Homo-oligomer: A and B are copies of this chain.
């Protein structure tokens, strides 16, 4: 596998990056929901932690029945068993990145994993 791989992602279609850029520690998707739309189902995960990054717009997540407002520049971690559903606002689309990683998998990072 290439030592690095890059993709430019624009447009309104969902893009899943795992196979496109050769990810091995995460799956990353880029998503746009039009105003008033939602992902049409509630889901949870077996072992993956998710992080949602809101790039543009606004909306909300329902997490185990609790509503959490979302706006641009929000970074939201969700533990695997939480039942979740994301909605665009009635008057605004929402563009977001969703990162899946295996919960508990990170061992070292930054100063303890980096080599100068």
Could you tell me which A residues sit within 8 Å of B by CB distance?
Answer: 1, 3-10, 16-18, 21-30, 41-49, 51, 53, 55, 63-64, 68, 71, 73-79, 81-82, 97, 99-110, 113-116
Contacts and interface: CB of A to CB of B under 8 A. Distances in A.
Copies of this chain, tallied across the complex: 2
B97 A102 contact: no
12 contacts: A5-B76, A6-B77, A8-B74, A18-B109, A22-B77, A25-B105, A28-B99, A42-B116, A43-B115, A46-B115, A48-B113, A101-B106
Contacts of A49: 23-26
Contacts of A114: 43-46
A8 B82 contact: no
